[in-house]
Amino acid sequence: MTEPFILFTVAGTTYGLRSTQVAHVELIDHVTPVPNAAHFVDGVVFSRGEVVPALNLRARFGFERAPLGLSSRLLVATAGGRTVGLVVDSAREFVAIDAAAIQPPSAMLSGLSGRYLEGVANIGDRLVLVLNLTEVLTFTDPALEAQT
């Protein structure tokens, strides 16, 4: 059985999210900073009539932040009753991935990085890290807890 995924990049690595978890993908116009937000929350954005927190995946994954560019995108996603905007380096591809092609993450990827992954898929000549969005959004932060 195949399922549609949205592929995006963060710090040179390709990640995938099930398209059922992504409401839409858009350009990042303006992020309004929020005081005392978690280090990986850039602030909030106004997206299609809704104010959503903008979570920077570079910072969330422990990479150095990069300035927003022409290819930067906001993936507005929902998991566990929360809607957030995921700030990514680029997102332009939709692919169907066979469930059998997604292998569980290696035991070597324990800790935070392994927790964020549902699995790894081999698509053609590249590896795609399939995100576990619920785990990426699991943390205690008042700005995001208010979204539930």
Rounded Cα gap, residues 20 and 25, in angstroms: 12
Residues 6+ apart with CB under 8 A from 116: 61, 131, 132, 135, 136
Average of pLDDT values for 98-104? 90
pLDDT-based confidence at residue 116 (cuts at 50, 70, 90):
confident
Answer yes or no: is pLDDT of 125 > 90: no
Listed range (25-29, 49-53, 99-103, 136-140) with the worst mean pLDDT: 136-140
Q: Is the pLDDT of residue 105 over 60?
A: yes
| pLDDT value for 113 | 54
Instruction: Confirm whether pTM is higher than 0.75.
Output: yes
Q: Over 80: is that where the pLDDT of 30 sits?
A: yes
Please give the share of the chain, as a percent, with pLDDT higher than 70: 88
Of 8, 9, 30, which Cα lies nearest the Cα of 21? 8
CATH for 2-145? 2.40.50.180
CA dist 127 → 102, 109, 124 (Å): 10, 15, 8
- Residue spans of the domains in the chain: they are 2-145
